[in-house]
Structure 1
Amino acid sequence: MAPRANWKGFLRLSLVTCPVALYPATSEGEKISFNQLNRKTGHRIKYLKVDADSGEEVASQDIVKGYALDKDTFIEVTKEELEEVALESTRTIEIDEFVDKSEIDPRYLIRPYYLRPDGKVGHDAFAVIRETIRDMNKVAIGRIVLTSREHIIALEPMDKGLVGTLLRYPYEVRAADEYFDEIQDVKITKDMLDLAKHIVNQKSGRFEPEKFEDQYEAALVELINEKRAGRPIRPKERPRGANVVDLMEALRRSVGGGAAAGAEEPKKTPKRPKKAAAGQKEMLMPIAGKKPARETAKKSTARSQRKSA
């Protein structure tokens, strides 16, 4: 079952309109998260909204938004006043233009959403808009209000629905020359480029996300399981960066599968079995909110609990 829609309204292309719902296309819910605790008592930390001067707790109904003119001067803005700044994009995604996808700078991309018809009506109009975008091989650009802010949204077909990607405004993107101006101009020889291209060809493949393992998430699972089992946590040796003395020699040895010049040969360690991406199903011991994949995990937990008792 799909999660609750983040937004409901209408999608409009000129006079063609249909009701639609917007859903998050990604999720962080499967990742391990931590609570802050009081080291002395083990109790969770609770955050309170307090008056900065008096230190007294303030009830939610007494909190208003304010724009800071300076350190001590604010302009208060009420919820009702904000609602008066109603935009058409609060309830309607109006398609303003169509562009080539290659023209969208990746720095402008924020996050993706799924867009589908809302309810049993409007499927014909939705299909007309979707297939028009598909046949023209374009990306539709519109506007939408989410979390009280108007965003640019880029729409493109995916299967029977649309994927809408929120875009940043130009003022939100920093100029690259602030960071790149100090990079030295270096002359690269043809031999160096040829060797580097050979390395790229050796490592070329298709992008298959399921091949990638979240190694940090797997390490967190291992850490938590070790602590639950009562085993001591020993720091692991950190890999040392190679000191490249001769770039050309480093490229040659990379092509041949060796280590860079001046660097020690890395110790070979057995590869970990890949963990399933969805919910880290291959955890050794169950964690609250996660489903263990193996019956052996349950037995392991029971044994460790009997020992601690």
Structure 2
Amino acid sequence: MAPRANWKGFLRLSLVTCPVALYPATSDSEKISFNQLNRQTGHRIKYLKVDANTGDEVPNEDIVKGYQLEKDQFIEVTKEELEEIALESTRTIEIDEFVDRSDIDPRYLIRPYYVRPDGKVGHDAFAVIRETIREMDKVAIGRVVLTNREHIIALEPMDKGLVGTLLRYPYEVRSEQEYFDEIQDVKVTKDMLDLARHIVNQKAGRFDPEKFEDHYETALVDLINQKRAGKTIRPKERPKGENVVDLMQALRKSVGIAAAEAKIETKAAPKKTAKKPRKAAAGQKEMLMPIAGKKPVKETAAKKPAAGRQRKSA
């Protein structure tokens, strides 16, 4: 089942309007998460909303927003007052302009959403807007209100829908100068650049996210399975960094390593099969806790996942 829409309203290009819905394009729900426990009892920690001065718990209906002017002095703002300043972008994404994708600094990107028509009407208008953006090879820039704040949104066609990426405002992006000013000016020789280019050429490829494994997530699965099996966890020796004394020597050595790795990858490249991997049951972490109502998995089932295997959800 698709997740619930984060926003519903209208997409408008001049006089062309259609109802649309925004859905989160990414999710962290499949990552392993931890609860905080009381070490003495093993019980979960519960957070309460309490008055900072009296220590009394405050019910949700008595909690209002407040802007701090100075210590212990706040301006209260009610939900009704916030609704009074509702902007047009609360219900409508108005396309203001079209820009080249290369014009958008990566630092301004926040998170992506899938945009699709909402309901059975407006598909024609949606298709006109989508195909216009695609034909012009541009990115449409508009505004939308999410979580009570107005955001810039960049719209791009993807298949039959649109991807809308929220963008930061200039005041939210830190200047690079305070970080880069102290970097020393170093003259890089042609020989060094030639060796470095050679390494790059040997490692050149196309970005394929399926090739990458979340090694930390895999290590967490292994850790939890070992603890379930009652095994003793022993700390591993951390690798020690080596000081680079001769940069040219390090580059030459890297060229040889890159060439060897490229040769190994070419030989070991597995053939793709049409068989699809089995999906895990909804809400279950692969190789972790058993599905509710079933008997616990035996210790032999707690195996370390194979390198490169992707954990999927239903």
TM-score, L = length of structure 1:
0.86
Aligned equivalents of 1:175, 1:80: Cα separation in 2: 37
Give the aligned partner of residue 89 of structure 1. 89
Aligned equivalents of 1:201, 1:302: Cα separation in 2: 43
Give the aligned partner of residue 144 of structure 1. 144
Structure 1: 4+ residue segments shifted above 6 A: 278-284
Aligned equivalents of 2:62, 2:290: Cα separation in 1: 36
Q: Within 5 A, what are the aligned runs for 1:240-251? A: 240-251=240-251
Give the aligned partner of residue 192 of structure 1. 192
Deviations 1:241-268 (A, max 9, x none): 121001111001111229xxxxxxxxxx
Three-state SS of the structure 2 residue aligned to 1:37 is: coil
Give the aligned partner of residue 38 of structure 2. 38
Q: Within 5 A, what are the aligned runs for 1:1-309? A: 1-257=1-257, 285-287=287-289, 298-300=297-299
Q: How many residues align?
A: 282
Deviation at 1:300, TM superposition (A): 3.2
Three-state SS of the structure 2 residue aligned to 1:256 is: helix
Deviations 1:146-195 (A, max 9, x none): 00000000000000000000000000000000100000000000000000
Aligned equivalents of 1:78, 1:301: Cα separation in 2: 57
Deviation at 1:103, TM superposition (A): 0.2
Three-state SS of the structure 1 residue aligned to 2:48 is: coil
Deviation at 1:302, TM superposition (A): 8.3
Aligned equivalents of 2:290, 2:298: Cα separation in 1: 16
Q: Which has the higher contact order (CA 8 A, sep 6+)?
A: 2
TM-score, L = length of structure 2:
0.85
Aligned equivalents of 1:119, 1:41: Cα separation in 2: 51
Q: Which amino acid aligns with 1:51?
A: D
The answer on whether the counterparts of 2:154 and 2:166 sit within 8 Å (CA) in structure 1 is yes
Aligned equivalents of 2:158, 2:301: Cα separation in 1: 46
The answer on whether the counterparts of 1:285 and 1:301 sit within 8 Å (CA) in structure 2 is no
What is the identity percentage for the equivalent residue pairs of Structure 1 and Structure 2? 80
- The CA RMSD measured in Å over matched residues stands at 2.5
Aligned equivalents of 1:204, 1:178: Cα separation in 2: 33
Q: Which amino acid aligns with 1:287?
A: M
Aligned equivalents of 1:11, 1:38: Cα separation in 2: 49
Deviations 1:259-302 (A, max 9, x none): xxxxxxxxxxxxxxxxx8x8799988332679xxxxxx934368
Deviations 1:32-86 (A, max 9, x none): 0000000000000000000001111111000000000011110000010001011
Three-state SS of the structure 1 residue aligned to 2:111 is: strand
Deviation at 1:236, TM superposition (A): 1.1
- Alpha-carbon spacing, 1:26–1:302, altered in 2? closer, same or farther (3 Å): closer
Aligned equivalents of 1:52, 1:203: Cα separation in 2: 56
Aligned equivalents of 1:184, 1:279: Cα separation in 2: 51
Aligned equivalents of 1:280, 1:108: Cα separation in 2: 37
- Alpha-carbon spacing, 1:218–1:69, altered in 2? closer, same or farther (3 Å): same
The answer on whether the counterparts of 1:134 and 1:157 sit within 8 Å (CA) in structure 2 is yes
The answer on whether the counterparts of 1:10 and 1:91 sit within 8 Å (CA) in structure 2 is yes
